[in-house]
């Protein structure tokens, strides 16, 4: 029992308290605010689990971008007619008991671990030196499970296509209506002028340092996306219309380069997504830089939502 | 009990609460929130298990960590899609509900025809 254990207990209690607020809060607005706080607390928990890469992603994407998206939705749903049907007490009781059973099942899996816990960590560390990377998480993302990472980018692009295709016909090729829920004021404008220079440097640094230390394309891209969104929400810059060629190009450059290098692996290293010996690190860094740009644009446009108005010019 | 077990139990409880919110709350937006809570609980359980498997001089197992990073990004993409659907439903029917009775029920003309 050390002092850090009491700190962890306090953190776990806070996470549970704020987490349940997102479920039991009376208004959706309160629930979303609780969710943002919850995301940040969860990021601290990930640091305590020695997963700094995950913590950065959770803070930037889980708390920040998701929170922004939800806040925008709450603002628009504020005047929606909500049915006043509440789930009946018997149903809630049964659901509560069953959900508690599932939680108890998971808890027992944690409390009664198998004798030998399977892990691939030693294999990762043995072969990491060949890739020239210093961050084992980046090694897993870009070397051992590169196919997952590539397909994940495709999933993000598919989600963006899905969001865009929800636009009414008349708004196709228009501008995402990000400004709808912003009442630009002096503080917001000031922040949008002050933060982006710093944030862009942090985002670029995060992408670059990802090869050796915690960080990488996801985290860097999320920070760049946040800076872009801040400028757009403050009204300093209009969101781009979704038909812009530069926008489309930035969206696909990351996955396309990744795929091209993956296919080149057939010729140079005899396998899809394999890197030729000695060139692994420069290739991975190139893919990371391209992916950071694509992720930043894709996350920003996902958060901005479907196009709603046609450009007035 | 160490930190990994503690946060693992915390994750298990979050899964329970998230699932409860998903089942009982009628508002679509609250369901999306609950689903995110459920997801992050699963990630935390996964993270706690991977911390136990820490070996090779690392703080935690990098393989599950990389998978959780991928999962967080995919969860965000799915959330963005779900919210776009809810807002589109509101735009089409003036209601944000999943109940099938009433004017904004299951059979609306998509408006995109």
Helices and strands counted in chain A (H then E): 12, 2
Residue A118 CB burial class (10 angstroms; 0-12, 13-18, ≥19)? exposed
Does a structural domain hold residue B111?
Answer: no
Range of weakest confidence among A82-96, A233-247, A257-271: A82-96
Choose among B12, B56, B99: nearest Cβ to A110.
B12
Q: Are A216 and A207 in contact (CB under 8 A)?
A: yes
- What pLDDT does A167 receive? 85
Backbone angles phi, psi at A81, to 5 degrees: -75, 120
Cβ <8 Å between B15 and A106: yes
Confidence class of residue A81 from pLDDT cuts 50, 70 and 90?
Answer: low
Does a structural domain hold residue A150?
Answer: yes
Work out the minimum CA distance from B66 to partner chain A, whole angstroms. 6
Q: Which of A40, A99, A165 is the best substitution to test chain B (most B C-beta atoms within 10 A)?
A: A99
Q: Does residue A20 register a pLDDT over 60?
A: yes
Kindly state the average pLDDT of the residues A18-27: 91
Work out the minimum CA distance from B107 to partner chain A, whole angstroms. 17
Give, for A313, the enclosing helix (H) or strand (E): none
Choose among B44, B73, B78: nearest Cβ to A218.
B73
What pTM does this model have?
0.88
Does a structural domain hold residue A259?
Answer: yes
- The 8-class DSSP code of residue A1 comes to -
Q: Are A51 and B44 in contact (CB under 8 A)?
A: no
- What pLDDT does B112 receive? 41
Range of weakest confidence among A96-105, A131-140, A222-231: A131-140
| Chain A residues lying within 8 Å of B92, measured CB to CB | none
Name the nearest CA neighbour of A64 among A263, A258, A199, A184: A199
Beta strands, E only, chain A: 175-176, 307-309
Highest mean pLDDT: which of A114-118, A241-245, B18-22, B51-55?
A: B18-22
Does a structural domain hold residue A307?
Answer: yes
Count of structural domains within chain B: 1
- What pLDDT does A311 receive? 57
Does a structural domain hold residue A230?
Answer: yes
Does a structural domain hold residue A23?
Answer: no
Which of B:63-82 have CB within 8 Å of A?
A: 63, 65-70, 72-81
User: Given the structure tokens 């599932």, which residue do they identify?
Assistant: A102
Which residue range forms the structural domain that includes residue B77? 3-93
- What pLDDT does B53 receive? 67
- What pLDDT does A83 receive? 62
Cβ <8 Å between B12 and A106: yes
Work out the minimum CA distance from B103 to partner chain A, whole angstroms. 11
For residue B45, give both structure tokens: 């359980």
Cβ <8 Å between B81 and A9: no
Q: What whole-number distance in Å separates Cα of residue A167 and Cα of residue A176? A: 9
Does a structural domain hold residue B104?
Answer: no
Which residue range forms the structural domain that includes residue A255? 132-313
Count of structural domains within chain A: 1
Kindly state the average pLDDT of the residues B41-51: 88
Give A108's contacts (C-beta < 8 A, 6+ positions apart).
none
Does a structural domain hold residue A250?
Answer: yes
Range of weakest confidence among A34-38, A42-46, A122-126: A122-126
Q: Are A77 and A28 in contact (CB under 8 A)?
A: yes
Q: What whole-number distance in Å separates Cα of residue B74 and Cα of residue A153? A: 9
Kindly state the average pLDDT of the residues A263-271: 84
Q: Are B59 and A277 in contact (CB under 8 A)?
A: no
Range of weakest confidence among A65-69, A124-128, A291-295, B52-56: B52-56
> How many CA atoms lie within 13 Å of B37's alpha carbon, on the beta-carbon side?
36
The domain spanning residue B58 has which CATH number? 1.10.287.3510
Work out the minimum CA distance from B4 to partner chain A, whole angstroms. 6
Residue B93 CB burial class (10 angstroms; 0-12, 13-18, ≥19)? middle
Does a structural domain hold residue B113?
Answer: no
Cβ <8 Å between B66 and A156: no
Does a structural domain hold residue A278?
Answer: yes
Give B109's contacts (C-beta < 8 A, 6+ positions apart).
none
Cβ <8 Å between A49 and B47: yes
Does a structural domain hold residue A242?
Answer: yes
- Reduce the DSSP state of residue A213 to 3 states and report it: coil
Range of weakest confidence among A57-61, A187-191, A224-228: A187-191
Q: Are A260 and A272 in contact (CB under 8 A)?
A: no
For residue A174, give both structure tokens: 């228009």
Does a structural domain hold residue B62?
Answer: yes
Backbone angles phi, psi at A180, to 5 degrees: -55, -40
- Reduce the DSSP state of residue A309 to 3 states and report it: strand
Cβ <8 Å between B61 and A104: no
Name the residue of chain A whose CA is nearest to B49's CA.
Answer: A110
| Chain B residues lying within 8 Å of A158, measured CB to CB | 77
Question: Quick check: B105 contacting A, CB < 8 Å?
Answer: no
Confidence class of residue B106 from pLDDT cuts 50, 70 and 90?
Answer: very low
């Amino acid at each position: 029992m050390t002092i850090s254990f009491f700190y962890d207990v306090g953190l776990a209690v806070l996470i549970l308290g704020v987490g349940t607020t997102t479920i039991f809060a009376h208004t959706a607005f309160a629930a979303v605010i609780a969710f943002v706080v919850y995301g940040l607390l969860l990021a601290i928990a990930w640091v305590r689990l020695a997963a700094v890469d995950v913590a950065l992603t959770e803070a930037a994407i889980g708390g920040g971008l998701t929170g922004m998206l939800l806040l925008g939705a709450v603002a628009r749903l504020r005047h929606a007619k909500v049915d006043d049907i509440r789930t009946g007490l018997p149903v809630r009781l049964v659901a509560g008991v069953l959900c508690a059973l599932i939680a108890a099942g998971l808890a027992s899996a944690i409390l009664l671990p198998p004798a030998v816990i399977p892990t691939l960590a030693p294999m990762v560390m043995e072969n990491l030196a060949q890739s020239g990377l210093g961050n084992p998480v980046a090694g897993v993302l870009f070397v051992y499970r590169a196919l997952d990472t590539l397909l994940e980018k495709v999933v993000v692009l598919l989600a963006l296509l899905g969001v865009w295709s929800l636009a009414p016909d008349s708004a196709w090729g228009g501008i995402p209506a990000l400004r709808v829920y912003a009442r630009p004021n002096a503080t917001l404008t000031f922040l949008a002028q002050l933060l982006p220079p710093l944030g862009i440097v942090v985002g670029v640094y995060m992408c670059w340092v990802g090869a050796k230390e915690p960080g990488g394309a996801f985290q860097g891209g999320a920070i760049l996306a946040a800076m872009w969104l801040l400028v757009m929400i403050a009204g300093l810059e209009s969101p781009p219309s979704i038909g812009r060629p530069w926008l489309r190009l930035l969206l696909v450059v990351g996955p396309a380069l990744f795929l091209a290098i993956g296919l080149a692996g057939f010729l140079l290293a005899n396998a899809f997504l394999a890197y030729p010996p000695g060139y692994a690190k420069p290739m991975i860094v190139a893919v990371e830089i391209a992916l950071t740009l694509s992720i930043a644009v894709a996350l920003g446009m996902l958060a901005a939502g479907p196009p709603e108005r046609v450009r007035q010019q | 009990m160490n930190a990994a077990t503690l946060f693992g139990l915390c994750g298990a409880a979050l899964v329970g609460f998230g699932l409860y919110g998903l089942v009982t709350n009628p508002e679509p937006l609250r369901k999306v929130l609950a689903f995110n809570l459920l997801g992050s609980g699963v990630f935390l359980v996964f993270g706690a298990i991977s911390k136990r498997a820490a070996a090779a001089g690392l703080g935690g197992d990098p393989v599950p960590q990389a998978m959780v990073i991928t999962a967080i990004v995919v969860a965000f993409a799915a959330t963005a899609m779900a919210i776009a659907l809810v807002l589109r439903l509101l735009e089409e029917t003036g209601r944000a509900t999943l109940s099938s009775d009433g004017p904004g029920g299951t059979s609306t003309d998509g408006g995109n025809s």
